[in-house]
A and B are shown apart, each in its own frame.
Chain A
């Protein structure tokens, strides 16, 4: 039963992630007073790209062609290791630290692909994306420290039982969630860090690394882009969200939670403008700072 739930959860995330992207875009359009494109648009775009001829820039190598697969694979492995329905089969590797290392693998190949395109924008995007990573990782580790303090393990498991036994940790938990949300916005490449809708060469970050891609490679990268949001949102909710006793109601709950997240993402995106690139370290430092504050509160002040 556990296996069925896990496989069902994985396939739901795989198939619905472009829809979630569409929901965000539609929310944004409605808030701006537009009707906006169909929520299914991403499926059409990906299908169209998949059937187009695929080209690569001159001077690029096998690295460039492997990169879409190499950036998508870690996300899929992360997805497989998440206990989407709240529990995992025995001996299933599900470790938070491993997730961070897998995300680093994705970033590494994004950077390599950018440099391999031999153009200006690829290098620019690679430089910016990896720089962003240097701010994101410490903040993620700050969040991990809090989870460790609550639950005494680094496995991806719901914190809810541990929180119930220790109600005093609720406020730090809320702060930690805020910190994690801020970091995730950066990791997803959304406003106020990166604007997925812009193709203005001087400001784009993630789009710049994709600039030279088209056809099947672009379709894979777009799928990765949508999956990243859904997968990490699922991961966040599994750990931080409520946990029900039944596997199936847990799955339904995850679906609702992720949908809410995508709508919230649309709301946030229409409320904020993009930060200057050189202000992003301050933004991420603030996220990490909130995490440290939560940690401090959880440790019950400083008693040696």
Chain B
């Protein structure tokens, strides 16, 4: 009954895709319904219904439903003003949202896989919206192939569990999967970990993410980065950590390593981007890494029977999932507003947008501070928790694990500093300084500005008073340690935020920030112009040099003209970095697959007679074996 009422607006939206406003409004109602449903599920616990075999609502699912409802509501609100929303987007969007809801509510394998596959397919069509642009089709194809690979691995993993437990009901798995043998668990861990890892964009399976996410329209990018990749995290928490329970010690360590690698490489690749949306997409990889670090701590806690690790790791991961959903959709929506406002997403062509669109600038800089984990925003709280969990791995009597923990803490520290650098770059070059190119500035409607600011307000609220929300996590967390809130979070977020605000306001008033005279900037006595400013490339030059081992930067200068070597008429300068994974992992893999499939032409080259012969032979062999 409740489910029916919930789904009605979404179904309505499917049939009204020709009327943009009607469809968007009913979808908005749908997502607010999902948000309320999730919140109620978390608050009041879950009632049993007649539909329990098909859909179920647990506390963990409610948490992710809240994420879905929140991001969807904001993105849809924003869509009313977003100009670049084709009819195909309006058509696929309700199906996309419905399939994500199905994945989260699924009570058995059939519902889950149907939802999962339709989520992949609908998002594929959403990514191909701008199919006429260069590379969009290629990117979408890469996305589709990797998503299908992930779906097959997940299906295989589920089949293994199902075959051993003789059930495809998830509630049965929750009760009995912990009793599987270690070798089965290992197989399941490998299959599901790989499958969900691909979907979450964990390095080295990240190549689809920075291609697919930016290609979609901004509200869809925000949904994909904010929610869709979190469903991989949901799968890992639900099936691998909570259901399977303790497994080989190797797995937690691998999760931690994958998390560290994703967070560090994600941010390093983001630094080299000068397309605003691609930059944000790489930061999603980084944040997935941070979430995985929390899950790794949890997983170690399960294996070593250390309840504090389980609690901290899970809370850090869940809270960071919500936080990342909030500030990442805030940033993606702001990026879409920048695109609509100025017609480009190339950082190096922008500048000084704070003067033409101050509200979006405020929203973006706030989101940048949140994603850089700066107090008093929400990213600070969840990254603090992740650090707290990792640093707890350091301890007497754990030797090598201590050293591993220290390494992870240092990697996360480095990641945080690099993320801050990257967002100083992104917000500083896009919104501050002088405009780099004269671009037309379209005024933005309020429906695009307010969602961004609302999300920004949320990041602040969750950063200042996170405790009530952490308490809501209590039913999810298996050890029930959350009730000891102050022990988990002894940082006095309210005191810190209060002090910061009071001091800043006081100092700003004392230094009379309004009472200033504007003068030309210093340019060593020359005529100042916009090209004097640092660009995205020059800002990160020192990072490129420091991490040359990872980037492998290269540059060539080509001399053109009849007497080129000595008297070139013009110079062509090219510089870039080597996409290491693509070149050294995916290209050989692609070649290998190509070669193997090429081999099959020897036995499969067209004549029907040959195929009939194969058929006959197969039947013969079967009969021989059965006989």
Contact = CB atoms under 8 A, between A and B. Distances in A.
Interface of A: 53-66, 68-70, 72-74, 76-77, 80, 91-93, 95, 97-98, 100-102, 104-105, 107-108, 111-112, 114-124, 126-128, 130-131, 133-134, 136-138, 140-142, 144-145, 148-149, 152, 154-155, 201, 211-212, 215-217, 219-220, 277-278, 281, 288, 292, 295-296, 299-304
Interface centre among A111, A118, A215 (most CB of B within 10 A): A118
Interface residues of B, number: 84
Nearest to A136: B417
A130 B420 contact: yes
Contacts of A61: 352, 354-355, 432
A118 B433 contact: yes
Interface in B328-382: 352, 354-355, 365, 369, 372-375, 380
Interface centre among B418, B429, B490, B517 (most CB of A within 10 A): B490
Interface in B382-398: 383-384, 387-388, 391, 394-396, 398
Contacts of B391: 97, 144-145, 148, 154
Given A62-B513, A65-B513, A149 B533 contact: no
B375 A73 contact: no
A127 B542 contact: yes
17 contacts: A56-B519, A66-B508, A76-B499, A92-B492, A98-B496, A126-B534, A131-B546, A138-B417, A141-B410, A141-B412, A149-B395, A154-B388, A211-B522, A278-B545, A292-B403, A300-B399, A302-B400
Contacts of A93: 490-492, 495-496
Given A69-B507, A101-B384, A145-B409, A59 B429 contact: no
B403 A141 contact: no
A120 B567 CA distance: 31
A97 B521 contact: no
A225 B394 CA distance: 34
Nearest to A53: B517
A281 B540 CA distance: 14
B411 to A, nearest CB: 8
A288 B513 contact: no
B500 A77 contact: yes
B375 A123 contact: no
Contact of B521 (A70, A77, A117): A117
B195 interface: no
A219 B542 CA distance: 30
Given A69-B508, A72-B507, A131-B543, A138 B518 contact: no
A66 B507 CA distance: 9
B578 to A, nearest CB: 20
Contact of A76 (B410, B491, B503, B519): B503
B504 interface: yes
A46 to B, nearest CB: 12
A142 B406 contact: yes
A144 B521 contact: no
Contact of A217 (B420, B511, B520): B511
B534 A115 contact: yes
Given A119-B532, A278-B542, A148 B503 contact: no
Contacts of B427: 112
A127 B409 contact: no
Task: Provide the main secondary structure of the chain A interface.
Answer: helix
B477 interface: no
A77 B495 CA distance: 10
Nearest to B540: A127
A55 B432 contact: no
Contact of A69 (B394, B413, B417, B511): B511
Interface of B: 352, 354-355, 365, 369, 372-375, 380, 383-384, 387-388, 391, 394-396, 398-403, 405-406, 409-414, 416-418, 420-421, 423-425, 427-429, 432-434, 490-492, 495-496, 499-500, 503-504, 507-508, 510-513, 515-524, 528, 530, 532-534, 538-543, 545-546
Contacts of B413: 100, 137-138, 140-141
A212 B521 contact: yes
A59 to B, nearest CB: 4
Contact of A296 (B354, B403, B405, B515): B403
Nearest to A65: B513
Nearest to A145: B406
A152 B520 CA distance: 54
A123 B421 CA distance: 12
A113 to B, nearest CB: 9
A123 B534 contact: yes
A141 B386 CA distance: 13
A116 B418 CA distance: 20
Contacts of B516: 54-56, 65, 215
Contact of B375 (A69, A102, A152): A102
A27 to B, nearest CB: 30
Given A57-B519, A149-B396, 7 more contacts: A104-B373, A108-B372, A123-B539, A149-B395, A219-B511, A278-B546, A302-B400
A133 B388 contact: no
Contacts of A144: 391, 409
Given A134-B417, A138-B414, A304-B400, A104 B534 contact: no
A130 B513 contact: no
B527 to A, nearest CB: 13
Contact of B517 (A54, A107, A281): A54
A119 B526 CA distance: 12
Nearest to B421: A130
Given A95-B490, A138-B414, A119 B500 contact: no
B389 to A, nearest CB: 12
Nearest to A106: B374
B368 to A, nearest CB: 8
A25 to B, nearest CB: 25
B392 to A, nearest CB: 8
Contacts of B545: 278
A9 B402 CA distance: 36
Contact of A127 (B405, B522, B539): B539
A119 B538 contact: no
Contact of B421 (A111, A140, A217, A299): A111
A108 B417 contact: no
Given A126-B539, A212-B522, A277-B542, A115 B375 contact: no
